[in-house]
Every structure is written in structure tokens, then in C-alpha cells.
Structure 1
Amino acid sequence: MTTMKEIAEQTGVSVSTVSLVLNDRDAGRVKASIAAQVRDTARKLGYRPNPLARSLRTSRTRILAFVSEEIATTPYAGGIILGAQDAASTLGYMLFTVNADGRVDEETEIATLKRYGVDGFMYAKMSNRYANVPSSLGDYPVVLVDATDREGRFPSIEPDEFRIAYDATKRLIDAQCERIAYVGCSELMLAQDGRLEGYRRALEDAGRKFDERLVVNVLNNGPALQAVSDLFDREKPDGVFCFNDARAWYVYECAARRELTIGKDVSVVGVDNHRVFAETFSPQLTTVELPHYEMGYWATCKLVSMIEDRDLSDLQLPHTTAALPPLDAPIPAKIHCTLIEKESVRR
């Protein structure tokens, strides 16, 4: 195992200088050129810090906690955890995850994580909603993921719900659809509010009037199919923006029953890029990909920047489908999601 002494000998500096650089305490103490040389040498020699020694020295364990609701057990949202894990590894941290979906007591799990000495918490929800952060986390660095703190105490990261709907609706407008419907969600959440407003604004910016008759808000059940069927009979839409890919199934079903062709007679855009739906529908569904990986990666970087009180401006960011916002972005930080073109929109 490479030691600091070996790095010092290779670079011709003292062990204390190497220690300052590799512990990120070199700012204002070590010349930038020397610090760069030390880091380059450490990388070439395969230096890995001793986490136990570092924790004793800094009173930090370099362990982060990820407390989620449903995310760990939902396949397509698991990208949040993957992004958080990749960022943690890059920054020299370990990630503990806890799924608090009602089958375990959230406060008990948080207390256990505290006993392990975690340095900070990520607190995540499904489908972007307001969250009440447990009071037991009040004295820790906390970042919310796919949620907004109801009391405004903690930073958070979420999809730009307004832009999701605006971009999707504009795509249907550009496809020359005349009667564009919105199949939304009847559950109260930030995602529904933002997407309905984005749909409305895109129509208005194109010189069209918002028509409530073209909006149905449903859950995932039999009555939802009936509501979308009634929409087809009553309003005869030629374009439909759906709250998510699952709701697009109702549109495909209703079109098939009326011998309408998706991508020709009716254009459809969903949200999620969920493999079960977006890749198995025929024709394949044009959809907006939610930035699960990006949210997890950003949240970890934000949390570490809070723990270490530094801006991480030297961090090499990975290539992602959607661009990551800066760590100092206004809160809640929003990610502009990417529309994935497939076959369900008339060209």
C-alpha cells in the first residue's frame, strides 16, 4: 500500500505537505503547482487514504445515509441510489441506505444510522412532493431528493416539472396537433401542479387557449381507463401529454379500440422513460426521461459540500442525460429533463 512518505519522496516535498494536500487542507498553504504534482503522483502510485485514520483525525466517518420511501424497491427509480453511490465513491465516502416505506420505523432506522456516526443524510421521496423532514435530523446536514422541505430549512433537488410539461406539449404543438389533451394525476403532489402549469403555458405561448375539457386527472385503475375513453369520445384529441408512461397505456388502449394509429392519428408523449412501458409499447413511446441518476449524484455532491464546507469546483462531473445544475443553484434546485424521441409523435 502506497504511503504518504513514498509520495513525499517521489515529489521532493515533506510528508506534512503531502498530508495537507491529500486531506484537502492545502488552500493558502501549498502552492497550486506543488499540490497538483502531489495529487498526480498519488494517483499514479495508486494511493488510497486510510478511512479509519482519517475519521479519527477529522471526527468524520465519511459515511453518508440515504433514507428513502419506496425508491430502494422501485426498479426505475433505483437510479437515484446508483447516482448517489457513484458520487459518494468518487468523493471518498460510503453510502448506507434505508428503505422507510412503512414496514420499518423511520425514527428507529435514523437512530441506528446516527450510532454509526454518519456525517449527513439524504432524505428521498417518490414522485416529487412536499416532505416533512424528521425533527431528529435537524442538527445534521440534510439534502432532500425528489422532494421539497415543507418548512424550507434544507436544500433539495427535483426535476423541473414545469419544463417537463412545457417541452412535451411544445413537441406535440410542433407536430401540428390541434387538440392536445393532458392525462394527469389526481393525487396532490408538486409534480402534478408543475406539469399542469407547464402544459397550460405551452399552449398559451403558442397562441392557444387552455381548455379544461381536454384535461383528465386519474389514478392507475379501471376508472382511469373509462375517464380517458370518455375524453376520446367527447373531445377527440389528436395529441396527448401524459403525466407518466403508465397513463399513456390508457391512451394506446383507447386509440386501438377506435382503430386510431398512435403516431399518425394520435400523437403521445409520456414521462419517465420507464422500460416496461416506453420500450415495449408499439410504436415506442416518446417520453421525457426523469433524472433519477442525476438527482442522486447532485444530492451527494451537495451534501458533501455542506459537510466539508467547500464548493467542489474541482470535481470532474460524469456525463449524464440531463445537465446537472450548479451546487449553489437556487433551492429547490431543478434539473431540466431530456425528451427522448421515439415513434409515438407524428413527424
Structure 2
Amino acid sequence: MTTMKEIAHRAGVSVSTVSLVLNNRDEGRVNADTAANVRAIAKAMGYRPNPLARSLRTSRTRIIGFVSEEIATTPYAGGIVLGAQDAASELGYMMITVNTDGRANEERQLAALKRYGVDGFLYAKMSNRVTTAPGGIAGYPTVIVDAVDGSGGIPSIAPDETRIGYDATRHLIDAGCRRIAYVGCAEPMLAEGLRLEGYRSALRDAGIEPDDDLAIRVWFNQPALDAVSRLFDERHPDGFFCFNDARAWYVYECAARRGLVVGRDVSVVGVDNHRVIAETFAPQLTTVELPHYEMGYWSVCRLVSLIEDRPLDDVTPPRTTAPLPPFDADGPVSIHCTLIEKDSVAHHAAA
């Protein structure tokens, strides 16, 4: 294991200087070039701080609590947890993940995490919504993930839902579509209204007046298939923006029943980049990828910036599909989601 003494010897500085730099207390005390050199040498030598020793010096455990009631039941949780774990590991933190199933269980889990001495909390939801952090984490640095704090006082990150609808619809418009349908979600969700708003805004910006008869909201199974079928027969759309990839299946099915080819006769854009769906459809589905990994990574970085009261200027963000917002951003943060172009959109000259 590389020690501060070895780094000091290689850098030609004192051990106390190395300690100041590696504990991020060098500002105003150590020459900037010297600090940069120490960090470069520490990285090259594979230095890893001793968590126990650091916790004794700083009264921090370098443990983060990740709390959600849906981790065990939601397929997208893996991306958020993976991004959070990667960031925690790079920043020298350990993350304990707990799944709750109701308020009483949540309070027990929070109490257990506090007994471990966590430095802060991530409070995650697995679909964008307005939420309230539990009272049990009051006073702790906290970041809300894939949701917005109802009180407005806790930093949060969520997808830019309006931009999702706008970008997906704009992509269809740019491909030459003019009768663009929206296959939405009948469940009352925050994302539903915002994606519909983005859809309508993109149409208006292109000089196309939104037609309410082209926008439907469906659940699943036969009723959804029947609703999309009526949309085909009564309104004859040439493009479809679907609330998610799962609802795009009904468009593929209805097109096939009518002898139409997706990607040639009709165009389809979904949301999620759900691998089981988007990559197994034929043709593969053009879709807007939700930034689960990015939200997890950013949330840990934002939390650590709160815990350590510093901007994390020394952290180099990983290459991600969606660009990461600044780690010191205040208030609710929206992340711009990336459209993944595949084969389900036919490109025709605009009329």
C-alpha cells in the first residue's frame, strides 16, 4: 500500500504538505503547481486513503446511505445504483443500499443506516415525481434521485421530461413526418404531462397545430392495442412518439396487421432504451435513453460536495451517454436525455 511518506519522498515535499493536498485542505496553503504534482504522483502510485484513519481525523465514516422503496422491483434501479456505486468508489466512499416497503419500514432502515454513521443520504424514486424526503434524514446532507423535492430545499436530479417529448417529436418532424401521434400513459404521472407538453411544443415550433385526436393515453394489453388500432384507422398517422418503449410495441403490432413496415411506411420513437425491447424489435427502435447511470453518478458527486463542502473541481466526469450537469448545481437539476437513433424512423423529404 502506497503511503503519504512515499508520495512525499517522490514529490520532494513534506508529509504534511501531502496530507493537506490529499485531504483537500491545500487551498491557500500549498502552491497550486505543487498540489497538482502531488495529486498526479499519488494517482500514478495508486494511492488509496485509509478509510478508518480518515474517519478518525474528520469525524466522517465515508459511508453513504442509498434509500428507495423500489430498488428490488424496478428494472431501471440497476443503472442508478451502478452509477452511484462507481462515483462513491472513485471518491473513496462506501454505499449501503436499502429497500423499503412503506413508511414504518423506511424509518427502521433509516435508523439502521444512522447507527452505521452514514455521512449523508440518497433518497431515490424509480420514476420521476414530486416527493418529500422522510423526516428521519432531516439534518443530514441529502440528494433526491429521479424525483423533485416538494419543498424545494433539497438538491435533486431528474430527466428533462419536456425536452424528451420535444426531441423525440422534433426527430420525427425532421424525418418528414407531419401527422405525428402521441401514445401516452393513462397513469397520472409527472412525466406524462411534461412529455406531452414537449410533443406539442415541437409541433408548434414546426408550424404544425397539435391535433388532440392524435394524442391518446393508454394502459396496457388489449385495451391499449385497440386504442392504437383505432388511431391507425381513423387518423392515419405517419409518425408515433410513444411514452415509453413498451407502448411502442402496440404501434409495431398494428402496423404489421395492416401490412405497413415500421421504418418505411410509419416512423416510431420510444423512451427508455429498454434493452429487451429496443434491441429486439425489428427494426430496432429509435428511443430516448433515460439517464439512470448519469443520475446515480451525479447524485453521489453532489452529495459528497455537500458533505465535504467543496465543489469537486478535481473530479473528472466519466464519458456518459447524457452530459452530466455541474456537481455544485443548486436546487432541482434536469438532465438532458440523449436520443439513440436506430432504424424505426423513415427519413423522407418534408412536404
Does the pair score TM above 0.5? yes
Q: 1:77 to 1:259 in 2, by over 3 A?
A: farther
Structure 1 residue 325, shift from structure 2 partner: 1.1
Tell me the equivalent position of 2:164: 164
Partner-residue secondary structure (3-state), 1:230: helix
Q: Could you tell me which amino acid in structure 2 is paired with residue 200 of structure 1?
A: R
For residues 313 and 49 of structure 1, the distance between their equivalents in structure 2, rounded to whole angstroms, comes to 19
Tell me the equivalent position of 1:263: 263
Partner-residue secondary structure (3-state), 1:192: helix
Spell out the pairing of 1:99-118 with structure 2 (5 A cutoff): 99-102=99-102, 105-118=105-118
For residues 77 and 297 of structure 1, the distance between their equivalents in structure 2, rounded to whole angstroms, comes to 13
For residues 295 and 327 of structure 2, the distance between their equivalents in structure 1, rounded to whole angstroms, comes to 12
Spell out the pairing of 1:304-319 with structure 2 (5 A cutoff): 304-319=304-319
Tell me the equivalent position of 2:135: 135
For residues 144 and 59 of structure 1, the distance between their equivalents in structure 2, rounded to whole angstroms, comes to 24
Tell me the equivalent position of 1:287: 287
Tell me the equivalent position of 1:43: 43
Tell me the equivalent position of 1:5: 5
Assess if the C-alpha contact under 8 Å between 2:152 and 2:332 holds in 1. no
CA deviation vs aligned residue, 1:32-89 (integer Å, no higher than 9, x gap): 1221222222223322211011111101000111112324443344111111111111
Spell out the pairing of 1:5-84 with structure 2 (5 A cutoff): 5-84=5-84
For residues 182 and 330 of structure 1, the distance between their equivalents in structure 2, rounded to whole angstroms, comes to 33
Q: 1:33 to 1:330 in 2, by over 3 A?
A: closer
Tell me the equivalent position of 1:296: 296
Partner-residue secondary structure (3-state), 2:181: strand
Structure 1 residue 286, shift from structure 2 partner: 0.6
Tell me the equivalent position of 1:233: 233
For residues 242 and 91 of structure 2, the distance between their equivalents in structure 1, rounded to whole angstroms, comes to 38
Q: Could you tell me which amino acid in structure 1 is paired with residue 224 of structure 2?
A: A
For residues 161 and 72 of structure 1, the distance between their equivalents in structure 2, rounded to whole angstroms, comes to 24
Structure 1 residue 7, shift from structure 2 partner: 2.2
Q: Could you tell me which amino acid in structure 1 is paired with residue 210 of structure 2?
A: F
Q: Could you tell me which amino acid in structure 2 is paired with residue 301 of structure 1?
A: C
For residues 259 and 299 of structure 2, the distance between their equivalents in structure 1, rounded to whole angstroms, comes to 46
CA deviation vs aligned residue, 1:243-267 (integer Å, no higher than 9, x gap): 0000001111111122221112211
Assess if the C-alpha contact under 8 Å between 2:153 and 2:331 holds in 1. no
Structure 1 residue 111, shift from structure 2 partner: 0.9
For residues 330 and 185 of structure 2, the distance between their equivalents in structure 1, rounded to whole angstroms, comes to 27
For residues 302 and 6 of structure 1, the distance between their equivalents in structure 2, rounded to whole angstroms, comes to 32
Structure 1 residue 308, shift from structure 2 partner: 0.5
Gaps of 5+ in 1: none
Tell me the equivalent position of 1:97: 97
Share of identical aligned residues, percent? 71
Tell me the C-alpha RMSD between the 2 structures: 1.6
Tell me the equivalent position of 2:152: 152
Tell me the equivalent position of 2:244: 244
Partner-residue secondary structure (3-state), 1:75: coil
For residues 7 and 175 of structure 1, the distance between their equivalents in structure 2, rounded to whole angstroms, comes to 57
For residues 281 and 344 of structure 2, the distance between their equivalents in structure 1, rounded to whole angstroms, comes to 9
Structure 1 residue 130, shift from structure 2 partner: 1.0
Structure 1 residue 330, shift from structure 2 partner: 5.3
For residues 330 and 197 of structure 1, the distance between their equivalents in structure 2, rounded to whole angstroms, comes to 25
For residues 184 and 76 of structure 2, the distance between their equivalents in structure 1, rounded to whole angstroms, comes to 20
For residues 175 and 35 of structure 2, the distance between their equivalents in structure 1, rounded to whole angstroms, comes to 55
Assess if the C-alpha contact under 8 Å between 1:130 and 1:189 holds in 2. no
Between stretches 2-11 and 81-90, larger displacement belongs to 2-11
For residues 204 and 37 of structure 1, the distance between their equivalents in structure 2, rounded to whole angstroms, comes to 54
Q: Could you tell me which amino acid in structure 1 is paired with residue 141 of structure 2?
A: P
Matched, 1:202 2:202: yes
CA deviation vs aligned residue, 1:100-146 (integer Å, no higher than 9, x gap): 24598111111111110111111111221111210111111111111
Q: Could you tell me which amino acid in structure 1 is paired with residue 20 of structure 2?
A: L
For residues 328 and 193 of structure 1, the distance between their equivalents in structure 2, rounded to whole angstroms, comes to 29
Gaps of 5+ in 2: none
Count of residue pairs brought into register by the alignment? 347
Q: 1:328 to 1:47 in 2, by over 3 A?
A: closer
CA deviation vs aligned residue, 1:251-294 (integer Å, no higher than 9, x gap): 11111122221112211000011011100111111101111111
Q: Could you tell me which amino acid in structure 2 is paired with residue 123 of structure 1?
A: Y
